[in-house]
Each structure stands twice: as structure tokens, then as C-alpha cells.
Chain A
Amino acid sequence: MPAPEQFRLVFKHIDEAGYTNDLACYLRNGGYEVLRKSVLRKPEELVDEVKKSGLRGRGGAGFPCGVKWTLLDRKSGKPIYLIVNADESEPGTFKDRYIIHNDPHQLIEGIMITCFANKVERAYIYIRGEFPEGARILEKAIAEARAANFVGPNILGSGYGCEIYVHRGAGAYICGEETGLIESLEGKRPYPRIKPPYFPAVLGLYQCPTIVNNVETLCHVKHIAERGGEAFSKIGTPNNTGTRILCVSGHVQRPGYYEFEVGKITMGQLLNEVCGGPLPGRKFKAVIPGGSSAKVLRFGERYKGKRKVGAEMIDYDWALEDLPMDFDSLQMIGSMGGSGGVIVMDDSVSMVEALANINAFYSHESCGQCTPCREGSLWMKKITGRMVHGDARPEDGALLKSVADQIAGRTICAFGEACAWPTQSFIAKFGDEFKAYPEAKKAPRADGVPELV
């Protein structure tokens, strides 16, 4: 089956010749028309549209956006804040950066519609420290939008006003975790908060109800307001509506970003057709489907079980290539859609070395607040580091798994899972390679490249 055409919704103008990130260009392309219409509607109507759309968060967890908004404590009398999570840090993910760099006004329009719908009068864009250019672009875009009365007091004569501020992070992965982000925004160390009681919807920024949404999610809100929730929900597949930007990196012919209707394209179509297949003379070995913390999948394995289609349960028997790229299917087979970062590894890759790389990242990024993640992530790094650079033992794989098992599900935030899942899945899927690694290490490399120590 040939791969479907890309459905460019959020990325419509990315790569478009002559499209620039300034306000004039955005307005020429119909920009801020949706906001103009939205402020004439009732805020509750817009929330309903988002609920009807079935939009799920694009940051990683895939939580339904409309539900998130409904959980807001609107009775407290406290101000409600919107935080735009632009701390795009998950390895393998680079979609938000393109939105910020090339189409910042689309994001700002989405933010303003979201703020209007939720009666938010102050929004913060928390952008990772490694995006200085992105921060500059956003500042400029907000200034333009403010000058044109799309942001600020009394927008478009509606009587409604909202300010947007850009806050730059200082370069920590954990600031992408929503409560860690909130702490950081408050000026503290980004230690994620315990939930309960600190659910952002109730006790978020400055202990006020707060929405934290990903950049891509908010861009989708603009399109939902434009098309209507019902129409939006027709894009994609049931419960996996809209489009998804897939960031493909690693060993394919054409890595890059691709936007498709969620669930309408399979892994095989994406990698073999859209991305041009493996590099010459190589074979696909493994793929991480949703950013580095998602569980790795092995080419050649099959996934069997029952799934719900409409009201019926039907059997499925998929090869990895048959996997639909949607939230539910990826979760069903034990991984996740996550942030949409698809990392491809071919047969030139040693899984032990790949895991050593991932573990180095997570141990460096663990905030250090709670014990299992703080100590476990570094321990796993030390084990895999020793395996690669020192003495590997056949039993190290089992030890790694056991350490990872002591982390997942026992930490304050989801970083515990994020740092444990790679190890758990690498061992589960490539355990043989970990066992054979001590011996394999002694053999000269197939490509004749000398060992780096």
C-alpha cells in the first residue's frame, strides 16, 4: 500500500518558498482571522470545540487537551495561567523549533484563542535555553502582534486582554515536565511537584490554576477553532484525531519532519517510502517511535492481540512495519507515540552502545530530587559506560534491567519511566546482544574502524 500524502496543517507553510516569520507574511496568508472570529464567540463554545475535536497533547503523554482544560479550577477566584511548553528537549524531537522559527504567529494565534477560551489573562512561553534564536523570534513576533492589537489589552476591540511573556530556561530537560517547568518559572530549581496535591489545573503557577500545553498542541487549537471541533475530529483516526508531526532521525535516507493524519500512516510506509528506506547496504534494526524515552521496537518482531475498532474487538497481527503511527496503537504494543520523535537505528548500531548514549543523557538530566531516578539513572549510565569502555560482564544486562525496574513507577514525576523504559526495552528486545557483548567486544569491528576507548 503506498504511503498517504502528507497532510500539512500545522506545518502548512514550513518550507514554503517566500514564507517569512513576520506578521505581514502571516496576515497575507490569512493570519489572525481565526482569532478575530473567536473573540466574538463565547469562551465556553471554544472549549467545547476543543473537547469535540478529540485533540490529544502533542508533548508526549497524549492527554486529551479538552479534558485538561475542563479540569481547571475555575471557582477559586484565582487568576488562570497558560504556560506554553516550548522546552522541546526530548531527544529525537524537533517539531516545535520549526514552528517557533518559521511560523511563530501561528503559535501566538493559538495561544490567544486558548487564553480567550479559558479566560486567561497572562500566558508564559517557557522556551528552552538552547533556543536563543527562537526566543528572539518569539519576542519580535509578540511585539508585532501587540502593536497590531492581537496581543495585549482589549484585543480587537473585544474588551478582552491578555499578555504573553517569553521565559528562557537555562538548559535542563526536566523543565519540560510541567510541574518542574512551573517551579523553574517561579524562579526555583525545577524540582517536579508531588501529585497530589499539586495538579497544575488546581495548584499550578503561583498556586493558581494553570494550563500547560505543548507548542504543537496550541497550534492545533487554532485549526480546531477554524474548522470546528467536529470537522477536526474527522482528520486522523478515532481517538487519534488531527495530524501529527513525525520527526524522523537516524539511519534513513531522508530524515526530517513529516506531517500526517494520525494513524493513517504505518511505520513501514514512513520509513521505507517517505524516508527512503535504510542507507545503502544496511538493514533496519530498531526504532524508537516517540522520543528517546519511548520503548524501543525491534524490526522483525510481531505484535498480536485484540483491539477495539468501533464497538468490536478484532484481532491484529502486525509486523513492526504495519504499525499505525498513532497514540493508541503504539501504546497497545508497549511503546508510545510520545513527542513524535522517530529514531531509527540500522544494523551498524550496537544496542549496548546506543543504550549507553541514552543513559548518559538521562543521568545527566535527572534533577536529583527523588532517590530512584537520581541514583538509578547514574548507576545505569555507569554500568553501560563500563560495558562500552571497560569490562563488560554477561550478567550486566540482568543487573541493568533490575535497576531500571526499581525506578519506573516509584518516582515523583514521569522522568522515572523516561529513564527506565529505554533500559527495560533494550534489554527486553536485545537481551541476547547484551549477553554476547563481552565477547563481541573483543572481536574486531566489522567495518574495521578501530575501537574508541
Chain B
Amino acid sequence: MIQPAKPDLITVNIDGKEIAVPKGTNIIEAARRVGVDVPHYCYHSKLSVVGNCRMCLVEMGMPAVDPATKAPVIDPASGKQRINWGPRPAIACATSASPGLHIRTTTPIVKECREGVMEFLLINHPLDCPICDQAGECKLQEQSIGYGRGYSRYIEDKNVKPKRTVLGPRVMLDDERCILCSRCIRFSKEIAKDDVLGFTDRGSYSTLTCFPGRKLENNYSLNTVDICPVGALTSTDFRFKMRVWFLKQTNSIDTESSVGANTVVWSREGVVYRITPRENDAVNDTWMADSGRALYKRIREGGRLESIRALGSETTLDAAVEAAARLMAAGGVAVVGSGRSTVEEQFLSRKLAEAARAKAWLVSRVGEGDKILVSADRNPNVRGALVTGLISALPSARLDALAGEIDSGAVKTVVSVGEDLSAAGLTAEQLRKVSIVYLGTHSNPTSAAAKVVIATLTEFEKHGTFINQQFRIQRFAKAVPGVAGATDDLQALSRLVAAAGGPALGADVGSLWPAISSEVPALGTMSYASLPDTGLLVDGTPWAGLPFIEGPTLHFQPAQKEAAHV
């Protein structure tokens, strides 16, 4: 039965199923909601509609009305209003929902249209699937199985086009595989705002290329690889490394800035092979920056800390915690937390500072925002530090005040959670003057100077949450096991808290979150397990007055700055 539509909704009929959708909804999207797959190549929900692949042809009809009286024309056989079906198929991607619109996707004509388009797309396609990197995630493969005829009538020579065109430093093009859907062209122009791609020649000889003298080298170039429905555009980093069906997918978050783009980490047997964006329409749509895709390389980069050391020799966690406790017990402690730490780690950092009666510090990282998906704040989780109460004011890039306290002798011990103090402005002499307890993933002047070093995990090796610039708390999961010799950050921190005389707290996200929920007001109603994949907004009003540095990015507008103080 037709449900009475809500005022802003209209009812359309797709393959006999009624669905109420907002007026103007794209028919491919409307069909998706009733479980009807309308195959397509060129259509992309985040790009303009061009209607060039013709794969989404469907039959379209409107309820018949008498031209004179405008009264509905009733079909005597069914007793329902008759539908005037269009004389020719229409593309679903360029059709928007209008009241009473009827769509058929299962009729012989639609089937035949799809078979025709599939055949056309395949006749000049090289069919080098066995060596193609897109195999396993190729729309052409999937839809030729789903909607193709299954045999070839083509006996002519196939077109020959360039096979290995370097479009830019990260993207390689095989023109023979290209089906000319123009997604990459539209992405470059509309999203990356870097209009460098276009077609040359015409007809079936059309060839994708960069404009003369230009390269596809913007920081979003790899999105073209993601949205390429075939194996035409491949990533020079990932190609020929691994078949995608062997890879495990883990939901993660891009840590390169406070945007917090949602990602998927693709790994096999403890090795990460690539990072791709994960759709979050409130944060990053279906995009992410190229720079964020390379972050996994840090896991195996040189200089990784792979042991626990105390007073110059390798030791156990127990011994290291004990050594740290002795240093902290002498008083004059400072805790340098991190905007790269997770919410859970920041909560424990705060607890550590409280137990050691220490002041907590944070270091800011500022770059230039690109107005798309990399913001000016290059720490992923400064807002986490505010929300958990680790800090109450925005951090600066240098720890000059801490340096002063070290010089004056007020601070004798510094616990650094992953921050290189020398990069934050402390001199080698100042590092020598204090006792340093360092938790971190990679060696640096601070780890070299530290009395106690506990090797910890990268974001790919642990669970946690970050709070992005929108005050959206987003969860990420462990993709690969940590390197041997490294300790989970939460375990190390909770042990230190206890050793400094603080409470016994959970050493993993699951057991720690009850304490977080009860002690952090802004997270009071949440639990780790129930956080949705696309995150939850935290009430950021207590910090609304702070002068955050981010400019606008996709789906983010900074709060209106108050007029300059007079």
C-alpha cells in the first residue's frame, strides 16, 4: 500500500516497491534504498552527473492523467492509475524523484540495454584481468558478470592506446582500460580544484591525459584511483603489490590533521599495503589526501623503538615502571601529553599528571590548511586533550615555559608521551638536566636522552578514539599487531599512573571507558562499544571561546570569530 508521504517526501515506485524519498532524490540512490541495484560507472554520488556511460538506463513512467480534465486515468484491469511509460529508456543518474514517478529495472528492454552497454565497453577493453590491479574491485568485472551477455561477438582488432602513462608521481594510467567515464576529470575539477585532466582525440580513440605541461600531482590525486571503476588509474605505490581479495580491511582515522578523515587500512599478515578513504558524509565524503595514505609507512620506518630501556639497559615493563616511579617520587614532575595521543591515552596522561602532582603540557603542530581535507592543526586530537581535561588552553608549538621551569630547577622529571622535546624547543642541555621518561614509537633526541624509554604503538597497531575539529569523536581499530618489544600505550600509561600513586585504571579501551564516561562530562553519555562508525558529535560548547586555528575545510566552517577586541 502507498504510505502517506511526509510533507517533504514524495513517493516513487521502483520495480513495484513504493518508497518515500525527498523530492529530487537521484533515482540510483532511491533504488538503492529499496534494495534495487542500478548498475552504473560514471555516476558518483559526490560528483556532478554527466550521464555518459549509459549503464543506468531504466524504463521510466508517470501516472496518466486526462489531458483535458487532469483527472487520473484508471486502468480498468487493475483498478489503479495507468502509467504512461516513456518511449525510450532514460538514465537513472540524471533522473530525480518526482511525485508518482515509476521506474522499472527488470524489463527485457532494460536487460538488453545493459547487455549492449557492457558489450560496447568490453570490445575495446584489453581484458588483461589476470594482471590487472583492479581485479577484485573492478566494476567492469562485477557488472559484466551481473549484467553482461557472457560471450563475445567481436572479431575486429581492438584499439591500441598508451599502456603506461605517468599522470603524476602517484598515479599511473593505462588508457586501454579506460572506459572514459570522466570521474577522474570531474573529481580533479570539482573536488581537488586542480583541473589538470581531460580527453584528447575523439570517438573510441578518446584518450585521457593531463593538459600540456601539467601533472596530476595534487595532494588528492589518489582519489582518482579510488573512483576509477576500472583498472585504468592505478596507484604507483600499491600496484602489483597484492591482490585486494587477500587484504583485511580495518576502519581507521587519518591522523595527519584535525579533519579526521575516515579511512580503511588494508593489511595482510601484519603488513599494511594501502590506506583508502571510508565514506563519512559529515567529514570527508569519500575522499582523503594522498599524504594520509602514506602514513602507514611509519610502521616499518627506520628508528622504530622496539624495546623497554631503563638507565641504559634493556629491561622489563615492571622494572621500567619502577624506575619511572622512583624518578617521579622525587617531585618536580611535568607531563608532556600529545595531540597525537588517543582520547584514552590523554585521559590516562591527565590521570598521571594528577597522581604525580605534575603540570600537563601539550605541543601544537601547525601547518597550512588546504581548505579540503587537511586542516591547519596537524594534531589529530587537540580537542581530545581539552575534552579529557588534560589541558584547558590551546597549546603552543614550543615548550618555552617548561624550559624555564627546567632551567630554574622547578621541574626535575619530564614524562613525555610521544613528544620529542627537542623539536618543541628544549635544548640538549635542558634535556640533560632533567630526568626523562619517554613513551614513543620512534627514536629521537628525547628518547636518546631519556632515562626510561617504553616503546609504544603506532595508530595502526592499537585501538582508540580521536576528537576532530568538529568535536566529532571517531573510533579506529587495530589493523596489524604491534612490533615485537613495543608495549600498548594504555598499558604503559595505566601502570605509570598506578606507580605514581594514582588509581588502578583499565589498561585497554574496553575496561578504561567506564572510567572515562564517568569522569569526562562531555563523554558521559557515550561508550566505546556503541560509537557509530561515522562518529558522534561531542558537545564542544565549553571550549567554544578558544581561538582554534583551523580554517574552513570540506564539511567544516570555523566558528565566527568575534569582532576584534577594542
Contact = CB atoms under 8 A, between A and B. Distances in A.
B123 A379 contact: yes
B203 A368 contact: yes
Nearest to A174: B202
Given A382-B157, A410-B57, A370 B89 contact: no
A325 B282 CA distance: 61
Nearest to A364: B203
B198 interface: yes
A286 interface: no
B113 A363 contact: no
B327 interface: no
B154 to A, nearest CB: 7
B74 interface: no
A70 interface: no
A377 interface: yes
Nearest to B201: A368
A406 interface: yes
A369 B198 CA distance: 12
A279 interface: no
B206 A371 contact: no
A372 B57 CA distance: 12
Contacts of A293: none
Interface stretch (B46-54, B161-169, B532-540): B46-54
A351 interface: no
Interface string B95-126: 00000000000000000110011011101100
Contacts of B159: 378
B180 interface: yes
Interface string A419-431: 0000000000000
Interface residues of A, number: 33
B123 A371 contact: no
A386 interface: yes
Contact of B204 (A191, A374, A399, A412): A374
Contacts of B265: none
Central interface residue in B53, B54, B156, by most chain A CB within 10 Å = B54
B interface secondary structure, majority? loop
Given A376-B120, A406-B120, A410-B54, A382 B156 contact: yes
Interface in A374-407: 374-379, 382-383, 386, 399, 402, 406-407
Contact of A412 (B51, B121, B124, B153): B51
A371 B53 contact: yes
Interface string A185-217: 000010100101100000000000000000000
A85 interface: no
A372 B51 contact: no
Contacts of A406: 112-113, 116-117, 119-120
Given A194-B51, A368-B180, A412-B52, A375 B124 contact: yes
Central interface residue in A370, A402, A409, by most chain B CB within 10 Å = A370
Contacts of A402: 153
B199 interface: yes
Nearest to B49: A194
A366 interface: yes
B195 to A, nearest CB: 11
Given A196-B94, A412-B52, A371 B89 contact: no
A368 B206 contact: yes
Contacts of A386: 156
B52 A372 contact: no
A399 B151 CA distance: 14
A406 B122 CA distance: 14
Central interface residue in B117, B120, B206, by most chain A CB within 10 Å = B120
B189 to A, nearest CB: 11
Contact of B54 (A196, A370, A399): A370
Given A194-B49, A382-B157, A412-B51, A372 B117 contact: yes
Contacts of B121: 371, 375
B51 A368 contact: no
A48 to B, nearest CB: 24
Nearest to A196: B94
Interface in A357-371: 363-371
A411 interface: yes
A172 interface: yes
25 contacts: A189-B198, A189-B199, A191-B52, A363-B204, A364-B203, A367-B202, A368-B199, A368-B204, A369-B52, A371-B180, A372-B120, A374-B120, A375-B123, A375-B124, A377-B204, A378-B203, A379-B156, A382-B157, A406-B113, A406-B116, A409-B89, A410-B89, A410-B113, A411-B54, A412-B52
Interface of A: 172, 189, 191, 194, 196-197, 363-372, 374-379, 382-383, 386, 399, 402, 406-407, 409-412
Given A191-B52, A369-B52, 20 more contacts: A363-B203, A364-B203, A365-B202, A366-B203, A368-B202, A368-B206, A369-B50, A369-B180, A370-B52, A371-B121, A371-B179, A372-B117, A374-B120, A402-B153, A406-B113, A406-B116, A406-B117, A406-B119, A410-B116, A410-B117
Q: Which 4 A-B pairs have the closest CB atoms?
A: A406-B116, A375-B120, A368-B206, A382-B156
